Amino acid sequence: MSRFFCFSARSCNTAARAASYIAGMKKKPIIVVLGTGGTIAGHGASAAHVAAYTCSVLAIDEIMAAMPHAASRADLRMEQLLQIGSENFRNEHLLMIGKRVSAALEDVEVDGVVLTQGTDTIEETAYFLHLTIKSEKPVVVVGSMRPPSAMSSDAALNLYAAVCAAAHPSSRGKGVLVVANDEIHTARDVSKASSFKLEAFHSPYGPLGYIVEGLPRYYRTVARDHTLSAEWSVDQIESLPRVDIIHAYGELDESVVEAIASQARGIVYAGTGNGSIARRIAAVLAQAAQRGVQVARASRTGSGVVIRNGAQPDDERGWLVVDDQSPYKARVLLMLALLGGIGDRAALQACFYRY
Protein backbone atom coordinates (compact mmCIF):
# COMPACT_ATOMS: atom_id res chain seq x y z
CA MET A 1 0.00 0.00 0.00
CA SER A 2 1.18 3.50 -0.76
CA ARG A 3 2.84 5.41 2.08
CA PHE A 4 0.65 8.38 0.99
CA PHE A 5 -2.50 6.69 2.14
CA CYS A 6 -5.38 9.13 2.81
CA PHE A 7 -6.91 8.80 6.27
CA SER A 8 -10.13 10.67 5.45
CA ALA A 9 -11.81 12.34 2.51
CA ARG A 10 -11.07 15.71 4.12
CA SER A 11 -7.35 15.23 4.65
CA CYS A 12 -7.18 13.67 1.20
CA ASN A 13 -8.75 16.79 -0.33
CA THR A 14 -6.43 19.05 1.60
CA ALA A 15 -3.41 17.08 0.48
CA ALA A 16 -4.62 17.10 -3.12
CA ARG A 17 -5.19 20.84 -2.98
CA ALA A 18 -1.73 21.42 -1.53
CA ALA A 19 -0.21 19.19 -4.20
CA SER A 20 -2.04 21.00 -6.97
CA TYR A 21 -0.84 24.38 -5.63
CA ILE A 22 2.69 23.07 -5.59
CA ALA A 23 2.35 21.72 -9.12
CA GLY A 24 1.08 25.13 -10.17
CA MET A 25 -2.21 23.63 -11.34
CA LYS A 26 -4.33 25.78 -9.07
CA LYS A 27 -2.90 29.19 -8.50
CA LYS A 28 -4.45 32.05 -6.63
CA PRO A 29 -5.13 34.98 -8.95
CA ILE A 30 -2.57 37.76 -8.85
CA ILE A 31 -4.09 41.14 -8.14
CA VAL A 32 -2.18 44.42 -8.17
CA VAL A 33 -3.48 46.80 -5.49
CA LEU A 34 -2.66 50.44 -6.13
CA GLY A 35 -3.04 52.92 -3.27
CA THR A 36 -3.70 56.62 -3.77
CA GLY A 37 -5.09 57.80 -0.41
CA GLY A 38 -8.58 58.91 0.59
CA THR A 39 -10.72 57.90 3.54
CA ILE A 40 -9.87 54.25 3.02
CA ALA A 41 -6.32 55.34 3.96
CA GLY A 42 -7.54 57.65 6.71
CA HIS A 43 -7.28 57.63 10.51
CA GLY A 44 -9.40 59.23 13.20
CA ALA A 45 -8.56 60.29 16.77
CA SER A 46 -10.96 57.66 18.11
CA ALA A 47 -13.34 55.00 16.84
CA ALA A 48 -16.19 57.44 17.43
CA HIS A 49 -14.89 59.70 14.68
CA VAL A 50 -16.78 58.29 11.75
CA ALA A 51 -16.95 61.54 9.80
CA ALA A 52 -14.10 63.72 11.11
CA TYR A 53 -10.63 62.24 10.62
CA THR A 54 -7.43 62.70 8.66
CA CYS A 55 -7.46 61.31 5.12
CA SER A 56 -4.62 59.72 3.19
CA VAL A 57 -2.28 58.73 6.02
CA LEU A 58 -2.14 54.91 5.88
CA ALA A 59 0.06 53.23 3.30
CA ILE A 60 -1.56 50.60 1.11
CA ASP A 61 0.48 47.76 2.64
CA GLU A 62 -0.60 48.87 6.14
CA ILE A 63 -4.23 48.82 5.04
CA MET A 64 -3.89 45.39 3.47
CA ALA A 65 -1.92 44.01 6.42
CA ALA A 66 -4.88 44.81 8.67
CA MET A 67 -7.10 42.76 6.40
CA PRO A 68 -5.66 39.24 6.05
CA HIS A 69 -8.83 37.86 4.45
CA ALA A 70 -8.01 39.47 1.12
CA ALA A 71 -4.77 37.55 0.89
CA SER A 72 -6.74 34.30 1.11
CA ARG A 73 -8.48 35.24 -2.15
CA ALA A 74 -5.55 36.44 -4.21
CA ASP A 75 -1.82 36.98 -4.25
CA LEU A 76 -1.59 40.69 -3.73
CA ARG A 77 1.06 43.01 -5.11
CA MET A 78 0.78 46.37 -3.37
CA GLU A 79 2.03 49.65 -4.71
CA GLN A 80 1.66 53.19 -3.41
CA LEU A 81 0.95 55.46 -6.36
CA LEU A 82 -0.17 58.61 -4.56
CA GLN A 83 -1.14 59.64 -1.04
CA ILE A 84 -3.68 62.43 -1.57
CA GLY A 85 -7.40 63.09 -1.31
CA SER A 86 -9.13 62.54 -4.63
CA GLU A 87 -10.42 66.13 -4.70
CA ASN A 88 -6.82 66.96 -5.69
CA PHE A 89 -6.86 64.70 -8.74
CA ARG A 90 -6.13 66.62 -11.90
CA ASN A 91 -5.88 65.35 -15.46
CA GLU A 92 -2.21 64.54 -14.93
CA HIS A 93 -3.17 62.23 -12.04
CA LEU A 94 -5.78 60.46 -14.16
CA LEU A 95 -3.19 59.90 -16.87
CA MET A 96 -0.55 58.67 -14.44
CA ILE A 97 -3.00 56.28 -12.74
CA GLY A 98 -4.31 55.05 -16.09
CA LYS A 99 -0.83 54.36 -17.46
CA ARG A 100 0.12 52.44 -14.31
CA VAL A 101 -3.09 50.38 -14.41
CA SER A 102 -2.48 49.65 -18.08
CA ALA A 103 1.13 48.58 -17.46
CA ALA A 104 0.08 46.33 -14.57
CA LEU A 105 -2.50 44.59 -16.74
CA GLU A 106 0.01 44.01 -19.52
CA ASP A 107 1.91 41.64 -17.23
CA VAL A 108 0.62 38.21 -18.28
CA GLU A 109 0.84 36.98 -14.70
CA VAL A 110 -1.52 39.66 -13.41
CA ASP A 111 -5.23 38.83 -13.30
CA GLY A 112 -6.65 42.17 -12.28
CA VAL A 113 -6.15 45.53 -10.60
CA VAL A 114 -7.73 47.13 -7.55
CA LEU A 115 -7.31 50.89 -7.28
CA THR A 116 -7.98 52.45 -3.89
CA GLN A 117 -8.84 56.13 -3.81
CA GLY A 118 -10.93 58.76 -2.10
CA THR A 119 -14.61 58.44 -2.88
CA ASP A 120 -15.13 62.10 -3.85
CA THR A 121 -14.04 61.69 -7.45
CA ILE A 122 -14.17 57.91 -7.83
CA GLU A 123 -16.82 58.37 -10.52
CA GLU A 124 -14.47 60.38 -12.72
CA THR A 125 -11.37 58.20 -12.30
CA ALA A 126 -13.35 55.02 -12.87
CA TYR A 127 -15.04 56.41 -15.99
CA PHE A 128 -11.72 57.64 -17.39
CA LEU A 129 -10.24 54.15 -16.95
CA HIS A 130 -13.42 52.57 -18.35
CA LEU A 131 -12.89 54.47 -21.60
CA THR A 132 -9.12 54.19 -21.94
CA ILE A 133 -7.89 50.85 -20.57
CA LYS A 134 -7.30 48.26 -23.26
CA SER A 135 -7.86 45.05 -21.36
CA GLU A 136 -10.57 42.57 -20.48
CA LYS A 137 -9.03 41.96 -17.09
CA PRO A 138 -11.02 43.30 -14.17
CA VAL A 139 -10.21 46.76 -12.84
CA VAL A 140 -12.03 47.63 -9.63
CA VAL A 141 -11.94 51.08 -8.06
CA VAL A 142 -12.76 51.20 -4.38
CA GLY A 143 -12.90 53.64 -1.48
CA SER A 144 -14.70 53.89 1.82
CA MET A 145 -16.94 56.37 3.57
CA ARG A 146 -15.45 55.73 7.01
CA PRO A 147 -11.76 55.33 7.82
CA PRO A 148 -10.45 51.95 9.02
CA SER A 149 -10.20 53.40 12.56
CA ALA A 150 -13.94 54.17 12.83
CA MET A 151 -16.72 52.10 14.34
CA SER A 152 -18.54 50.15 11.64
CA SER A 153 -16.00 51.20 9.05
CA ASP A 154 -16.73 50.05 5.53
CA ALA A 155 -13.03 50.16 4.58
CA ALA A 156 -12.10 46.51 5.18
CA LEU A 157 -15.25 45.02 3.70
CA ASN A 158 -15.20 47.27 0.63
CA LEU A 159 -11.56 46.46 -0.02
CA TYR A 160 -12.09 42.75 0.53
CA ALA A 161 -15.09 42.84 -1.81
CA ALA A 162 -13.03 44.72 -4.41
CA VAL A 163 -10.29 42.08 -4.30
CA CYS A 164 -12.92 39.33 -4.57
CA ALA A 165 -14.48 41.04 -7.59
CA ALA A 166 -11.13 41.63 -9.29
CA ALA A 167 -10.02 38.04 -8.66
CA HIS A 168 -13.13 36.43 -10.10
CA PRO A 169 -13.30 35.43 -13.79
CA SER A 170 -16.92 36.57 -14.06
CA SER A 171 -15.71 40.17 -13.70
CA ARG A 172 -13.72 40.02 -16.94
CA GLY A 173 -14.87 42.07 -19.89
CA LYS A 174 -17.31 44.16 -17.87
CA GLY A 175 -15.31 47.37 -18.02
CA VAL A 176 -14.18 49.20 -14.94
CA LEU A 177 -16.15 48.50 -11.78
CA VAL A 178 -16.72 50.40 -8.56
CA VAL A 179 -17.37 48.23 -5.53
CA ALA A 180 -18.95 49.65 -2.37
CA ASN A 181 -21.46 48.61 0.24
CA ASP A 182 -21.82 45.05 -1.18
CA GLU A 183 -22.67 46.45 -4.63
CA ILE A 184 -20.80 46.27 -7.93
CA HIS A 185 -21.40 49.33 -10.11
CA THR A 186 -20.32 50.08 -13.64
CA ALA A 187 -17.99 53.05 -13.92
CA ARG A 188 -20.26 54.44 -16.62
CA ASP A 189 -23.18 55.04 -14.34
CA VAL A 190 -22.01 55.30 -10.77
CA SER A 191 -21.89 58.54 -8.84
CA LYS A 192 -21.35 59.53 -5.24
CA ALA A 193 -24.74 60.60 -4.01
CA SER A 194 -24.17 61.20 -0.30
CA SER A 195 -21.50 63.12 1.56
CA PHE A 196 -21.48 60.80 4.59
CA LYS A 197 -23.72 57.73 4.34
CA LEU A 198 -22.27 54.25 3.83
CA GLU A 199 -24.88 53.86 1.13
CA ALA A 200 -23.25 56.64 -0.89
CA PHE A 201 -22.96 55.16 -4.36
CA HIS A 202 -25.78 55.22 -6.80
CA SER A 203 -26.29 54.10 -10.39
CA PRO A 204 -29.48 55.33 -12.06
CA TYR A 205 -30.21 51.89 -13.53
CA GLY A 206 -29.02 49.99 -10.46
CA PRO A 207 -25.78 48.16 -9.77
CA LEU A 208 -24.50 45.41 -12.11
CA GLY A 209 -24.55 43.00 -9.21
CA TYR A 210 -23.60 42.28 -5.65
CA ILE A 211 -20.75 40.73 -3.72
CA VAL A 212 -22.22 38.01 -1.54
CA GLU A 213 -19.92 36.09 0.81
CA GLY A 214 -16.92 37.08 -1.26
CA LEU A 215 -18.36 36.07 -4.62
CA PRO A 216 -19.65 38.41 -7.32
CA ARG A 217 -23.17 37.83 -8.59
CA TYR A 218 -23.92 39.74 -11.78
CA TYR A 219 -27.41 40.46 -13.03
CA ARG A 220 -26.76 42.70 -16.03
CA THR A 221 -23.99 43.95 -18.31
CA VAL A 222 -23.02 47.34 -19.67
CA ALA A 223 -24.77 48.27 -22.93
CA ARG A 224 -22.36 51.01 -24.04
CA ASP A 225 -18.84 50.67 -25.46
CA HIS A 226 -15.90 50.62 -23.06
CA THR A 227 -12.31 49.40 -22.63
CA LEU A 228 -11.49 47.20 -25.64
CA SER A 229 -14.28 48.58 -27.83
CA ALA A 230 -13.65 52.23 -26.91
CA GLU A 231 -11.51 54.33 -29.24
CA TRP A 232 -8.92 55.59 -26.74
CA SER A 233 -5.88 54.06 -25.11
CA VAL A 234 -4.37 55.76 -22.09
CA ASP A 235 -0.94 54.63 -23.29
CA GLN A 236 -1.25 56.98 -26.23
CA ILE A 237 -2.51 60.05 -24.38
CA GLU A 238 0.04 62.57 -23.10
CA SER A 239 -2.32 65.36 -22.09
CA LEU A 240 -6.02 66.15 -22.07
CA PRO A 241 -7.66 69.27 -23.46
CA ARG A 242 -9.25 71.72 -21.08
CA VAL A 243 -12.95 71.11 -20.58
CA ASP A 244 -14.75 73.07 -17.87
CA ILE A 245 -18.11 72.58 -16.21
CA ILE A 246 -20.38 75.57 -15.71
CA HIS A 247 -23.18 75.07 -13.24
CA ALA A 248 -26.41 76.97 -13.90
CA TYR A 249 -28.11 79.12 -11.25
CA GLY A 250 -30.29 82.20 -11.34
CA GLU A 251 -27.66 84.92 -11.04
CA LEU A 252 -24.90 83.21 -13.03
CA ASP A 253 -23.12 86.12 -14.64
CA GLU A 254 -22.38 86.24 -18.37
CA SER A 255 -18.89 87.54 -17.64
CA VAL A 256 -18.04 84.35 -15.71
CA VAL A 257 -19.23 82.23 -18.64
CA GLU A 258 -17.30 84.41 -21.09
CA ALA A 259 -14.12 84.17 -19.01
CA ILE A 260 -14.32 80.38 -18.93
CA ALA A 261 -15.27 80.11 -22.60
CA SER A 262 -12.22 82.15 -23.57
CA GLN A 263 -9.90 79.56 -21.99
CA ALA A 264 -11.57 76.22 -22.61
CA ARG A 265 -11.70 73.94 -25.63
CA GLY A 266 -14.90 72.42 -24.31
CA ILE A 267 -17.63 73.39 -21.88
CA VAL A 268 -20.15 71.15 -20.20
CA TYR A 269 -23.05 73.35 -19.20
CA ALA A 270 -24.91 71.78 -16.27
CA GLY A 271 -28.17 73.48 -17.11
CA THR A 272 -31.39 73.51 -15.18
CA GLY A 273 -33.91 70.73 -15.89
CA ASN A 274 -33.39 69.37 -19.39
CA GLY A 275 -30.14 71.27 -19.81
CA SER A 276 -31.86 74.62 -20.18
CA ILE A 277 -29.73 77.73 -20.69
CA ALA A 278 -30.94 81.21 -19.75
CA ARG A 279 -31.27 83.52 -22.79
CA ARG A 280 -28.48 85.87 -21.74
CA ILE A 281 -26.08 82.93 -21.14
CA ALA A 282 -27.19 81.23 -24.36
CA ALA A 283 -25.97 84.22 -26.37
CA VAL A 284 -22.48 83.91 -24.87
CA LEU A 285 -22.36 80.15 -25.41
CA ALA A 286 -23.58 80.46 -29.01
CA GLN A 287 -20.71 82.87 -29.73
CA ALA A 288 -18.26 80.52 -28.02
CA ALA A 289 -19.49 77.66 -30.21
CA GLN A 290 -19.00 79.84 -33.29
CA ARG A 291 -15.37 80.34 -32.27
CA GLY A 292 -14.92 76.56 -32.09
CA VAL A 293 -15.46 75.90 -28.36
CA GLN A 294 -17.47 72.71 -28.00
CA VAL A 295 -20.42 73.34 -25.71
CA ALA A 296 -22.34 70.33 -24.40
CA ARG A 297 -25.64 70.81 -22.63
CA ALA A 298 -26.07 68.54 -19.60
CA SER A 299 -28.47 68.59 -16.67
CA ARG A 300 -27.88 69.64 -13.10
CA THR A 301 -30.80 67.47 -11.93
CA GLY A 302 -28.66 64.37 -11.33
CA SER A 303 -30.43 62.02 -13.72
CA GLY A 304 -32.29 61.75 -17.00
CA VAL A 305 -31.54 62.42 -20.65
CA VAL A 306 -31.09 65.76 -22.39
CA ILE A 307 -33.17 66.21 -25.54
CA ARG A 308 -31.37 67.55 -28.60
CA ASN A 309 -33.20 70.42 -30.35
CA GLY A 310 -35.98 70.18 -27.80
CA ALA A 311 -36.47 73.40 -25.88
CA GLN A 312 -33.10 74.69 -27.17
CA PRO A 313 -32.12 74.96 -30.85
CA ASP A 314 -28.86 73.01 -30.61
CA ASP A 315 -28.27 72.72 -34.37
CA GLU A 316 -28.71 76.43 -34.85
CA ARG A 317 -26.37 77.33 -31.99
CA GLY A 318 -23.75 74.71 -32.72
CA TRP A 319 -24.11 72.91 -29.42
CA LEU A 320 -23.80 69.30 -28.35
CA VAL A 321 -26.03 67.55 -25.83
CA VAL A 322 -25.20 64.73 -23.47
CA ASP A 323 -27.26 61.58 -23.57
CA ASP A 324 -27.71 60.75 -19.88
CA GLN A 325 -24.15 61.45 -18.69
CA SER A 326 -23.78 63.54 -15.56
CA PRO A 327 -21.80 66.77 -16.06
CA TYR A 328 -18.76 65.07 -14.46
CA LYS A 329 -18.90 62.02 -16.73
CA ALA A 330 -19.60 64.29 -19.70
CA ARG A 331 -16.47 66.31 -18.94
CA VAL A 332 -14.31 63.15 -18.99
CA LEU A 333 -15.93 61.97 -22.21
CA LEU A 334 -15.64 65.34 -23.95
CA MET A 335 -11.95 65.63 -23.05
CA LEU A 336 -11.33 62.27 -24.72
CA ALA A 337 -13.57 63.03 -27.69
CA LEU A 338 -11.67 66.28 -28.28
CA LEU A 339 -8.37 64.42 -28.60
CA GLY A 340 -9.31 63.72 -32.19
CA GLY A 341 -9.73 67.45 -32.92
CA ILE A 342 -12.64 69.80 -32.56
CA GLY A 343 -13.78 69.97 -36.16
CA ASP A 344 -16.42 67.31 -36.51
CA ARG A 345 -19.41 68.14 -34.29
CA ALA A 346 -21.45 65.19 -35.51
CA ALA A 347 -18.68 62.80 -34.47
CA LEU A 348 -18.47 64.46 -31.06
CA GLN A 349 -22.23 64.24 -30.65
CA ALA A 350 -22.13 60.53 -31.55
CA CYS A 351 -19.73 59.89 -28.64
CA PHE A 352 -22.42 60.82 -26.13
CA TYR A 353 -24.74 58.17 -27.57
CA ARG A 354 -22.04 55.53 -27.98
CA TYR A 355 -20.40 55.59 -24.54
Residues that bind ligand DGL (CB under 6 A): 38-39, 55, 85-87, 118-120, 143, 145
Rg (CA), the chain: 23
Query: CB burial class (10 A; 0-12, 13-18, 19+) of residue 263?
Result: exposed
Between 36 and 132, whose beta carbon lies closer to ligand DGL? 36
Between 19 and 151, whose beta carbon lies closer to ligand DGL? 151
Residue type, 346: A
Residue 189 C-beta: closest distance to ligand DGL, Å: 19
Between 142 and 211, whose beta carbon lies closer to ligand DGL? 142
Residue 201 C-beta: closest distance to ligand DGL, Å: 11
Between 55 and 141, whose beta carbon lies closer to ligand DGL? 55
- Taking residue 247's Cβ as centre, other Cβ atoms within 10 Å add up to 13
Residue 318 C-beta: closest distance to ligand DGL, Å: 36
- Alpha carbon 211 to its chain's center: 18
Pairing of strands 294-299, 320-321: parallel
Pairing of strands 201-202, 191-192: antiparallel
Sign of the C-alpha dihedral, residues 144, 150, 152, 157?
Answer: positive
- Distance, CA of 37 to CA of 44 (rounded, Å): 14
Between 115 and 306, whose beta carbon lies closer to ligand DGL? 115
Catalytic residue list contains 301: no
Catalytic residue of the set 14, 36, 39, 116: 39
Beta strands in the chain (DSSP E): 30-35, 75-80, 112-116, 139-142, 176-180, 183-186, 191-192, 201-202, 209-212, 215-218, 243-247, 266-271, 294-299, 320-321
Contact call for residues 38 and 55 (beta carbons, < 8 A): yes
Residue 16 C-beta: closest distance to ligand DGL, Å: 43
Between 201 and 232, whose beta carbon lies closer to ligand DGL? 201
**Long-range Cβ pairs for the range 306-315 (8 Å, 24+):** 306/271, 306/274, 306/275, 307/274, 308/349, 310/274, 311/274, 311/276, 312/275, 312/276, 312/277, 312/282
Residue 85 C-beta: closest distance to ligand DGL, Å: 3
Residue 84 C-beta: closest distance to ligand DGL, Å: 7
Residue nearest to ligand DGL (CB): 118
Residue positions annotated with a catalytic role: 39
